[in-house]
A and B are shown apart, each in its own frame.
Chain A
Amino acid sequence: MAQLCPYDGELKRLGLKVLLVTFSSKGFAHKFREEVCSSFPVLINRERDLYRTYGLESSLLRSWGWKNLWTYAKRLLSGQEWKGIQGDSTQLGGDFIIDRDGIVQLAYRSRDPTDRLPVEELMEHLQEISRRHKDPDSE
């Protein structure tokens, strides 16, 4: 998520709105905005019903596999602070792009915690959708 912050200006220029959804508490959401990224609004969904509506899975096996443990180990070894687990560590995330007509243009549901769409790829999708809105005949 932090990788998206430097693109804030570009996203605004393209007329895009980024919404972050978390099931953590409001306090943690504020802390996240202070420490990681304050550019985008954080929406609170403690019950995770929106996660389910958007088809995002919970998986103990995939959340705590070797790939994820290795990622955490590398972060700790690089001196990154560990804040502990807040809420359900098995809940997986995802990214969705919704165009101005409310149509899903990208649905990326993480298979495991390390599986997120690279920010460069997200930006390419967003730029393409924005371009199509400006020039509808280009489709």
Chain B
Amino acid sequence: MFGLGDAAPDFALPSADDDLVSLNEILDEGHVVLLVFLRHLG
């Protein structure tokens, strides 16, 4: 399992608005990313 100082695994996922969002593309734009994994939304 990765930890601090490791490269974050890249991904591309569809958003609720049907856009494909890629981590690497956002990083290429120069952003820092906060990735929040939610539990169920109930």
A positions within 8 Å CB-CB of B: 1, 4, 11, 14-24, 26, 28-33, 40-45, 50-51, 53-56, 82-89, 91-107, 113, 122, 126, 129-130, 133
Q: Given B5, B6, B8, B39, which contacts A91 in the complex, CB threshold below 8 Å?
A: B39
Check A54/B32 contact, CB under 8 A, given A29-B41, A87-B40, A89-B40: no
What sequence of 0s and 1s flags, for each residue 1-38 of chain B, a beta carbon within 8 Å of any chain A beta carbon? 11111111111011111010101101100111111111
Closest partner residue, chain A, to B15 (CB atom): A41
Q: Is the CB of A126 within 8 A of B32?
A: yes
B positions within 8 Å CB-CB of A: 1-11, 13-17, 19, 21, 23-24, 26-27, 30-42
| Cα A139 to Cα B4 with chains together (Å) | 16
Q: Given B7, B10, B13, B27, which contacts A21 in the complex, CB threshold below 8 Å?
A: B13
Closest partner residue, chain B, to A22 (CB atom): B38
| Cα A105 to Cα B22 with chains together (Å) | 19
Least Cβ–Cβ distance between A64 and chain B, in angstroms: 12
| Cα A55 to Cα B14 with chains together (Å) | 20
Interface of A: prevailing SS: mixed
CB-defined contacts of B26 to chain A, threshold 8 Å: 17, 19
| Cα A113 to Cα B24 with chains together (Å) | 29
CB-defined contacts of B15 to chain A, threshold 8 Å: 41-44
Pairs of residues from A and B, 4 with the lowest C-beta to C-beta distance, nearest first: A29-B16, A43-B13, A55-B1, A17-B31
Q: Is the CB of A100 within 8 A of B32?
A: yes
Least Cβ–Cβ distance between B39 and chain A, in angstroms: 5
